[in-house]
Amino acid sequence: MLRAGSLIAASLALCAAFIQPAAAKVTISISCSSLGIEMELCRDGAQAWAQKTGNEVRLVSTPADAQERLALYQSLLASKSDKVDIFQIDVVWPGILANQFLDLNQFIEPAKLDGYFQTLIANNTVDGKLIAVPWFVDAGMLYYRKDLLDKYQLKAPETWAELEQAAKKVMEGEKGIQGYVFQGKAYEGLVCNALEWITSNGGGGLLDHAGQATFNNPQAAAALDRAKGWIGTIAPQGVLGYDEEQARGAFQSGKAVFMRNWPYAWALVNAPDSPVKDKVGVVPLPKGDGEHAVHTGTLGGQSLAVSKHSAHPKEAVDLILYLAGAEEEKRRAIKGSFNPSLKSVYNEPELKQDPFFSTFSTILSSVATRPAAVAGKGYNQFSSQFVRAVHATLQGQGSAADNLSGIRTSWK
């Protein structure tokens, strides 16, 4: 009893030490992703705003897995909590979370939004309401080991067949290296990878404007069958459990020749402590050999939204505009390879000289989009079914065509 009592007393004292005297300035809570160095960049940016305006910011940490972050956001928002003012949301979430956020059209002059990519503004507009300001834009890219390809006199692959051959050649010559790693775990990342395989093979997108399936075609099935052929040959069996960070872990520790990942990995594989620093190149993902085969990358990216339960919406919007402003987006691009959502930032000299950003600009011209808008609230159900079908195919359970045709596109 005595022990418990003193414990409580001690924790109360500890709490008291952390309680700040009441301040007149406003405290804005912002919840950023914590994938890679996102948290660090977000903190620096938010604190720069706090110093400029005299307000305070508080960072709410989140899981690295986007799906878990969505779950956390949903439970926070469902409880009508005012603990978080600003939410960093994924490109496929506007339809799911729209009711929980403020219409930013009422706070931001339309002219200020002209500089952003209009596809992103359209993506974030639900029933005429702008629910989030685009922050950075993502697309899948192919990372490759320049040093190893040079050693075996190979060039960066243009097609999936070339990638397979190059991977095999390097694997024969080097000990303990894998050919290709990607995101093969049964989660949203697999949707992005599979969409790239299908679209790059001329198999089209996933759902049409009416929400009907468009993936039941031979080219889509062939794309998945080819990916199945990688498992256990050029890709480790374990890739079926990899997310972004595990793929990066394998590639960055020098255990893979090729990797599919988002742009955030660029800054990290080239960090001073990275074993593969300066040995990595990026190109658009390979294309297939069917009709309409194209280089493509799944569109990703994150935006900033304000909770409708926020006590300080004005200051929150001001912080959003600072974070998604030209100066901050340029800093994030250079430091973290986050691609700006403002078109003008790509013309900054530092970015223009960097081949990474010019490669990314070419990818942006032919991105593949996930059917989040057409599926709306049902997107996660569609996504989950699609993931199961693709994952089963990769595991060798059933043919690609059968698994794809088993996906229902009607949901509540």
Binding site for another protein (CB under 8 A): 67, 70-71, 74-75, 77-78, 96, 99-100, 178, 184-187, 236-242, 246, 249-250, 253, 255-256, 377, 380-381, 384, 388, 391, 395, 397, 412
Instruction: Considering the complex, state which of residue 72 and residue 113 has its C-beta at the smaller distance from another protein.
Output: 72
Taken in order 163, 168, 170, 171, the sign of the CA dihedral is positive
Place of tokens 């300066």: 278
Both tokens of 240, joined, read 């079926």
Instruction: Considering the complex, state which of residue 167 and residue 256 has its C-beta at the smaller distance from another protein.
Output: 256
Shortest Å, Cβ 310 to another protein? 16
Shortest Å, Cβ 79 to another protein? 9
Q: What DSSP string describes 241-309?
A: G--HHHHHHHHHTT-EEEEEE-THHHHHHTSTT-TTTT-EEEEPPPB-SSTT----EEEEEEEEEEBTT
Q: Give burial (CB, 10 Å; 0-12/13-18/19+) of 115.
A: middle
Instruction: Considering the complex, state which of residue 219 and residue 383 has its C-beta at the smaller distance from another protein.
Output: 383
Shortest Å, Cβ 395 to another protein? 6
Shortest Å, Cβ 344 to another protein? 37
Instruction: Considering the complex, state which of residue 196 and residue 245 has its C-beta at the smaller distance from another protein.
Output: 245
Largest CA distance in the chain: 78
Shortest Å, Cβ 249 to another protein? 6
Q: Rounded distance, CA 276 to CA 271, Å?
A: 9
The CB density around residue 340, as the number of other CB atoms within 10 Å, is 26
Q: Which of 40, 66, 64, 34 is nearest to 300 (CA)?
A: 66
Shortest Å, Cβ 259 to another protein? 12
Instruction: Considering the complex, state which of residue 73 and residue 338 has its C-beta at the smaller distance from another protein.
Output: 73
Q: Rounded distance, CA 386 to CA 378, Å?
A: 12
Both tokens of 165, joined, read 């051959």
* Integer-rounded Cα radius of gyration of the chain: 23
Q: Rounded distance, CA 242 to CA 254, Å?
A: 16
Instruction: Considering the complex, state which of residue 173 and residue 232 has its C-beta at the smaller distance from another protein.
Output: 232
Q: SS3 of 231, please?
A: strand
Shortest Å, Cβ 215 to another protein? 20
Q: SS3 of 207, please?
A: strand
Q: Rounded distance, CA 392 to CA 397, Å?
A: 5
Shortest Å, Cβ 268 to another protein? 15
Instruction: Considering the complex, state which of residue 58 and residue 255 has its C-beta at the smaller distance from another protein.
Output: 255
Q: SS3 of 119, please?
A: helix
Shortest Å, Cβ 236 to another protein? 5
Instruction: Considering the complex, state which of residue 236 and residue 284 has its C-beta at the smaller distance from another protein.
Output: 236
Place of tokens 């508080």: 58
Instruction: Considering the complex, state which of residue 332 and residue 391 has its C-beta at the smaller distance from another protein.
Output: 391
Instruction: Considering the complex, state which of residue 178 and residue 337 has its C-beta at the smaller distance from another protein.
Output: 178
* Sequence-ordered alpha helix ranges (H) in 154-231: 160-173, 188-200, 218-230
Shortest Å, Cβ 241 to another protein? 4
Angstrom distances, CA of residue 116 to CA of 4, 30, 136, 139: 56, 22, 10, 16
Both tokens of 254, joined, read 């020098």
